[in-house]
A and B are shown apart, each in its own frame.
Chain A
């Protein structure tokens, strides 16, 4: 899988999505 297929990859996706998602 390359970044061109999947878009920009973030190692901190879990923390970033947790900060954005409604709680």
Chain B
């Protein structure tokens, strides 16, 4: 209701200047960049915000140098299974996880610096048919994995030295969990979205499945990114990368939905549409024929800001509370954007290209 009363921001007012290029990093050894992330790393008593870049066969750690340059600190190499995702662990230092697999995640590995023997190491955290994984505060990792008979939702705690401590199992819903999000303002709550378009809520302390709330078929293929608890309501940021364009759905890339966990009822708060000229295109063939790919490839949400790469090759930034696009980064002349990630805060945006170039923008 709120967003419908707002005047949309005209495209001319979307200022590229609100994203200021700070520095550029080029991984010359990388054949094809698959992910990028920011991570706190400490060396010689100095804690710095470093950048992690991933290609299919390697993951590199970069530290800031004077004159807006970046120096490679270390590169972890991997064998036959390709790297497909970096899994950052919030509020941690000298630790980052990665997911490896083909079409879906087959294993999760931890990359770390060990001060015990002054070396960079990697260790295996989990294997299986992993559908979703998320790094949680307090050096924990939650994942959903599936066997033929059952689904397992598990939390693994990691020690400072990177060793896996006792795991905890969460009660799984019947349907497959495809994404997780921590709930800001409620430390013991975790939400997930499922393959049949429900939002589920867990109690992390007890492992109980507290509530399953259907999102509605007008918002198909929803993925949760963030959740916030306030005034007895649960606000969940959802994206709809494969939504079918319709009167009810429009061309929204992100929505904020308010759920009342007591009654399982929900209401749309804001929706953030693709900027004009960047709307989706109809898929002519295949199982998704007739669907409209919304021009949203992949993105990241932090606090109340979302950033996503569009099929047009641009990166858009939205204010999710206002429900409007507030900045647009056109395709770089050297190549279109492939990755958009917030650093540890929304003050810094990491924009990546497939050739391994990562641009850091101050927002």
Assess the A13–B267 pair: CB atoms within 8 A: no
Shortest distance in angstroms between B66's beta carbon and chain A's nearest beta carbon?
Answer: 48
Number of interface residues of B (CB under 8 A): 26
**Cβ–Cβ < 8 Å partners of B233 in chain A:** 1, 6, 9
B188 at the A interface (CB under 8 A): yes
Select A6's contact among B201, B207, B267, beta carbons within 8 Å. Answer: B267
Number of interface residues of A (CB under 8 A): 16
B75 within 8 Å of A by Cβ?
no
* A21, B208: Cβ atoms closer than 8 Å: yes
Does chain A have a CB within 8 A of B261? yes
Q: Chain B contacts of A16 at CB under 8 A? A: 262
How many interface contacts (CB-CB < 8 Å) are there between A and B?
A: 62
| Cβ A6 vs Cβ B260 within 8 A | yes
Please report the C-alpha to C-alpha distance between residue A10 and residue B229 in the assembled complex, in whole angstroms: 12
- The reply to whether B232 and A18 form a contact with Cβ atoms under 8 Å apart is no
A-facing mask of B204-229, CB < 8 A → 1, else 0?
Answer: 00111111000000000000000001
Residues of chain A contacted by B206 (CB below 8 angstroms): 18, 23
A21 to chain B, nearest CB (A): 4
Give B258's nearest chain A residue, CB to CB.
A1
- Is B129 on the interface with A (CB-CB < 8 A)? no
Are B210 and A9 closer than 8 Å at their CB atoms?
A: no
Q: How far is the CA of A22 from the CA of B211 in the complex (A)?
A: 11
* C-alpha spacing A15/B231, complex, angstroms: 14
Besides A7-B260, A18-B208, 8 new A-B residue pairs in contact (Cβ under 8 A), listed by A number: A1-B1, A7-B262, A7-B263, A9-B232, A11-B232, A14-B261, A23-B207, A23-B208
Query: What residues make up the interface of A, taking CB atoms closer than 8 Å to B?
Result: 1, 5-11, 13-14, 16-18, 21-23
- Listed in ascending order, the chain B residues whose CB lies under 8 Å from chain A are 1, 171, 186, 188-189, 201, 203, 206-211, 229, 231-233, 258, 260-263, 265-267, 269
11 A-B residue pairings within 8 Å (CB atoms) = A6-B233, A6-B263, A6-B265, A7-B260, A9-B231, A9-B232, A13-B261, A21-B210, A22-B208, A23-B206, A23-B208
